[in-house]
Amino acid sequence: MLGLRLIVIGCCLAAAASAQDAPPFPGKQSEWHGFRKFDFVVAGKEAQVVVPDTVADGKPWVWHGEFFGHKPDPDIALLKRGFHIVYLRVPDMLGSPTAVKHWNDFYAELTGKYGFAKKAALVGLSRGGLYCYNWAAANPDKVASIYADAPVCDFKSWPGGFGKGKRSDRDWKLVLEQYGFANDEEAKAYKLNPVDNLAPLAKAKVPLLHVYGDADEVVPWEENTGLIIDRYRSLGGDITVIAKPGVGHHPHGLMDSTPIVEFIAKHAVAKPSKASGGT
């Protein structure tokens, strides 16, 4: 009997060790700036999740609208604080209703199956602003904060080029296709661009951070970030703004990413744990 008990205990310990060693996500595992990255598929779309060495209390996470991996310093700092970094590949959808539906699927997977925090910190660089703001407006209760960097907040500005923004014929065609507009006039009459649809975010008290170059000729700040600033504040919303004098659409980010990191960490659902090795 004693021998049988030892065998059973040994099997249980082996199973527990195997469970601990099992990867936290499916798919292909690789290395990203010293952290484990997993590539897998959610509802037919490619997803990427970068995993911290020690997960912070509440399992906070950062979700990129586009250009995951560009200017990674804030992500690396937040990984050290225990945040997961995620991205869903739905390019060329420009924040359309279909893109929002795919984001809903990914959100449900991460929060339901993997226990992520119920509120995500969104990061929208350039056209990524359309993804983040449109999903946030449809799901304001699921957003911890939005960090937007030279963001597109009105597709009439870019890629439409109907104001000061630069025209992109390829991307404007995508807008018409993805949103189901019959023509330019129908697209220009659309009333759910981020600059027009801030009330749900203000009501939910979602904090915003915008970083922009005041010489941006591709996505002019006046037609995008400028309108967000004025309209969000008029709605009683909280928005922090960092202007970069003389800077164009590039480079994104800041030389010292501390303000970005602190903004995201401050508004995370759970404060980073002391054991997470934060910077």
What range does the domain containing 108 cover?
Answer: 23-271
The answer to the question of residue 276 being in a domain is no
pLDDT tens, position by position, 33-52:
999 999 999 999 999 999 99
Which pTM value belongs to this model? 0.89
Q: Alpha-carbon distance 151 to 149, whole Å?
A: 5
Task: Quickly count: other Cβ atoms within 10 Å of residue 94's Cβ.
Answer: 23
Identify the residue whose tokens are 């290395």.
31
Kindly write down the DSSP assignment for every residue of 126-182, as one continuous string.
Answer: TTHHHHHHHHHHH-GGGEEEEEEES----TTTTTT-SSSSPP-HHHHHHHHHHHT-S
pLDDT above 90 as % of the chain: 87
**Per-residue pLDDT at 219 exceeds 80:** yes
pLDDT band at 13 (very low <50, low <70, confident <90, very high): very low
Q: Is it the case that residue 27 has pLDDT exceeding 50?
A: yes
Examine residue 17 and state whether it is found in any structural domain, yes or no: no
The contacts found for 87-90 with CB under 8 angstroms, 24 or more apart, are 87/47, 87/48, 87/63, 88/42, 88/45, 88/46, 88/47, 88/48, 88/63, 89/45, 89/46, 89/47, 89/48, 90/45, 90/131
The verdict on residue 220 lying in a domain is yes
Q: Domain holding 215: CATH number?
A: 3.40.50.1820
Q: 10 in a domain, yes or no? A: no
At 23 the pLDDT is 79
Residue 277 has pLDDT above 50, yes or no: no
Percent of all residues in the chain with a pLDDT value above 70, rounded to a whole number: 88
pLDDT of residue 18: 34
5 inside domain: no
Name the phi and psi angles at 35, rounded to 5.
-115, 160
Query: pLDDT tens digits, residue range 146-182?
Result: 999 999 999 999 999 999 999 999 999 999 999 999 9
Tens-digit pLDDT profile for residues 59-70? 999 999 999 989
Q: Is 192 exposed, middle or buried (0-12, 13-18, 19+ CB in 10 A)?
A: middle
279 belongs to a structural domain = no
**Predicted confidence band at 22 (pLDDT cuts at 50, 70, 90)?**
low
Grade residue 185 by pLDDT with cuts at 50, 70 and 90: very high
- Could you give the CA distance from residue 274 to residue 53 in angstroms, rounded to a whole number? 13
Q: How many domains does the chain have?
A: 1
